[in-house]
A = this chain, B = another copy of it.
Amino acid sequence: MIPYVEMSREQLLQEKKLLTVRYEQFREQGLNLNMSRGIPCAEQLELSMPMLDIVNSGSDLHTVTGADCRNYGIVDGIPEVKKLFADLFGVTTDEIIVLGNSSLNMMFDTISSAMAHGLLGGEPWANQGRIKFLCPSPGYDRHFGITEYFDIDMIPIEINEDGPDMDTIEKLVESDPMVKGIWCVPKYSNPTGVTYSDETVMRMARLKPAAKDFRIFWDNAYSVHYLFGEDKQIVNILHECKKNGNPNMVYMYFSTSKITFPGAGLAGMATSLENVNAIKARMSVQTIGGDKINQLRHMRFFGNIDGLMTQMEKHAEILRPRFTAVQETLTKEIGDSGAAQWSDPQGGYFVSFDTMDGCARRTVELCAQAGVTLTPAGATYPYHRDPRDRNIRIAPTSPTIENLITAMSILAVCARLSAIEKLLAQ
């Protein structure tokens, strides 16, 4: 296939004609495929069904330390589940808080609290003028949703193969005291699949922020969501921060939403003891703590971190053919046209798909008209503004492989049509 940018106007018109025939054929099928939802598929959910039998009317519901999980008490997680999270984060149990079912909610609360009450005795963020967050993009729309809700000025940062652009980050964080935070998904990032290199993590930890109350929001949502190749471990940023005199600079988040059941899972965070104590002081006002029975249910289901990793291998077996189908279909259908490029992640939940510049919105629109729902173009950028209008997040986990192949074929046709429209308009 000749790359589109090298085609003559006649060749483009001919290509458009062929693609339009295929597009109309898809449209006539009256499809209704949803590619926007980064959710586990039914087979994955089945993996955790035995967990629902583990805690029953015959169970002893006491923790290892003898607390009754059926009653009030223990706000920050039962000891055994704190141990599990400590193992996952590579920290000590007193650096762990386990609370509720939503790590997003923990992030929201951290920011809400910093806005209203400040961090470790510092001035409330809300009283310091309009503060700023750095937002490596494309990134997770719900991170950006939180900072937008609190009217925090979001600055997009480019992401490279080894993580976000550290030169820019260092410049901004170290010169501007209004920069209070950065959103990071350090492993199998949403949506790019990028894993931060050791150098990136270490440069993060070595930052000398202009703001004393600058924080790294380290959402390690996909830390165990390995799929292909070698599962590279990232450097432990909390350790590195401590080594570099920044012990309180990072909040790490994690949940079992995509390990057991979204909504019925466990969420947790890891941070310095000083931060933990400040957060627990707030929690003692805010809540009666998490669902300790569900904590026990998870703990007895996993046994320990090895049990959790075995569960992740089962997830990977289910997901691999889906991710492979996406790669194969896109490779076949986009070919050398240059109409798009896309990520080939080693883990996580997404494939990041870049159309030619200025073609993402049109591609999503064409897909919708052919019955394929994609995440709205721009969703992966702060304020939904993709400066190059090219990024589309593909969520391959939930549809069947058959539907995935159909949807990816349609996406490819739509991306190619959009590219041609763009080139013809120039």
Chain A residues packing against B (C-beta within 8 Å): 37, 39-40, 42, 45, 48-50, 52-53, 55-57, 59, 68-73, 100-102, 104-105, 108, 112, 115-117, 126, 142, 145-146, 149-150, 257, 261-264, 282, 284-294
Contact = CB atoms under 8 A, between A and B. Distances in A.
B52 A59 contact: yes
Nearest 9 A/B pairs, CB to CB: A264-B293, A49-B57, A105-B287, A72-B262, A45-B70, A108-B286, A149-B285, A102-B288, A70-B261
Contact of A263 (B48, B52, B71): B71
27 contacts: A39-B72, A45-B68, A45-B71, A56-B56, A69-B264, A70-B261, A70-B262, A70-B264, A72-B262, A100-B100, A101-B288, A104-B288, A105-B286, A108-B285, A108-B286, A108-B287, A117-B149, A126-B126, A145-B284, A146-B285, A149-B282, A262-B288, A263-B288, A263-B289, A263-B292, A264-B293, A294-B294
B52 A293 contact: yes
A292 B294 CA distance: 12
Contacts of A72: 37, 39, 257, 262-263
Contacts of A149: 117, 282, 285
Contacts of A290: 101, 263
A286 B292 CA distance: 22
Given A39-B71, A52-B55, A263-B288, 10 more contacts: A53-B56, A69-B263, A71-B261, A101-B290, A108-B285, A116-B150, A117-B149, A262-B288, A263-B291, A264-B292
Contact of A287 (B40, B50, B70, B104): B104
B262 A71 contact: yes
A225 to B, nearest CB: 15
Contacts of A102: 287-289
Given A57-B53, A71-B263, A262-B72, A291 B288 contact: no
A135 to B, nearest CB: 15
A318 to B, nearest CB: 14
A407 to B, nearest CB: 19
Most buried by B among A108, A282, A288: A288
Contacts of A57: 49-50, 52-53
Nearest to A146: B285
B291 A264 contact: yes
A380 B68 CA distance: 27
A43 to B, nearest CB: 12
Contacts of A291: 101, 263-264, 291, 294
Contacts of A52: 55-57, 59, 293
A59 B116 CA distance: 44
A52 B126 CA distance: 44
Given A105-B286, A288-B105, A293 B261 contact: yes
Contacts of A142: 285
Of the listed residues A69, A112, A264, the one surrounded by the most CB atoms of chain B closer than 10 A to its CB is A264
Contacts of A39: 71-73
A285 B45 contact: no
A59 B288 CA distance: 29
Nearest to A40: B71
A290 B73 CA distance: 20
Contacts of A286: 104-105, 108, 146
A55 to B, nearest CB: 6
Contacts of A257: 72, 288
A142 B45 CA distance: 38
A103 B235 CA distance: 39
A146 B126 CA distance: 19
Contacts of A285: 108, 142, 145-146, 149
A104 B150 CA distance: 23
A79 to B, nearest CB: 15
A224 B112 CA distance: 34
